Amino acid sequence: MNRPILAANWKMNNGPTLTREFMKAFIDQYPRQNERTVMFFPPALSLSTVAHAIGERRDVWLGVQNVYWKDQGAFTGELSVPIARDAGARVVLVGHSERRHVFGETDDETALKCAAVERGALTPLLCVGEKIEQRDAGQAEAVVIRQLRAGLSQMTQLATRDVMIAYEPVWAIGTGRTATPEDAEAMHAVIRQEMLSICGDRGRIAPILYGGSVNPGNAKALLAASDVDGLLVGGASLDASSWLAIVRS
């Protein structure tokens, strides 16, 4: 995948009708690019709409916001990796802060999900990040390292397979508070060092994205920070004009 990577996490927004309108506006104004990759993580019921809009474009990827670690079975309401792949997904969000702190997802569960994504030949985008009380207590790095190591612990092909990381400080998501480029740079350096330790040389090229109150006004400065390979964007990705401004940063 080409960098920078600009990933839109729509969370529980944009059903098929709004998605169709959004994607038409986006695709019409965003010609094929060779120097960056755009990713969309729509709600599950809008996956096919995004897939249809993307068509054969290889610079725009479809992703899913969550998966279960079993390939099939009596798991009502869940989405498996094989189903996600069949729908056209190439990448899977794992361990987003809302999955952890709203739905109680544990480090052990993120490990099972990352392993399932690897087994299914998709790319995991593992999210890590600290809450404000952990940061204020001087525990930010320890929390991020713990989440990172736990999430990747059951993957067996880290030396040869793609994996992406997103640093999303919980205190900067939807709060209007944004980590400065210097904050992002410092934590991304910690993550890069850990990736080298875990993955060997492959850790040197693993993309590390920043996520947390990204908007058209700060996207360029964040992308300019060292070891920031892209952005994971929430609210600002729901408006086509705002999203276009970010992906053109």
Q: Which of 109, 118, 130, 168 is catalytic?
A: 168
DSSP 87-140: TT--EEEES-HHHHHTS---HHHHHHHHHHHHHTT-EEEEEE---HHHHHTT-H
Lookup result for tokens 């053109």: 248
Report angle CA 171, 78, 99 to the nearest 5 degrees: 10
Q: Find residue 166's DSSP bridge partners.
A: 127, 209
Strands (E), 112-221: 123-128, 164-167, 208-211
Q: Is 101 a catalytic residue?
A: no
For residue 230, count other CB atoms closer than 10 A to its CB.
25
Helix, strand, or coil (residue 64): strand
DSSP code for 56: T
Q: What is the dihedral of CA 109, 157, 72, 146, to 10 degrees?
A: 10
Q: Is 133 a catalytic residue?
A: no
DSSP code for 68: -
Q: What's the distance, CA 175 to chain centroid?
A: 19
Q: Which of 96, 105, 118, 188 is catalytic?
A: 96
Which of 173, 93, 88 lies closest to 130 in space, CA to CA?
173
- Residues known to be catalytic: 96, 168
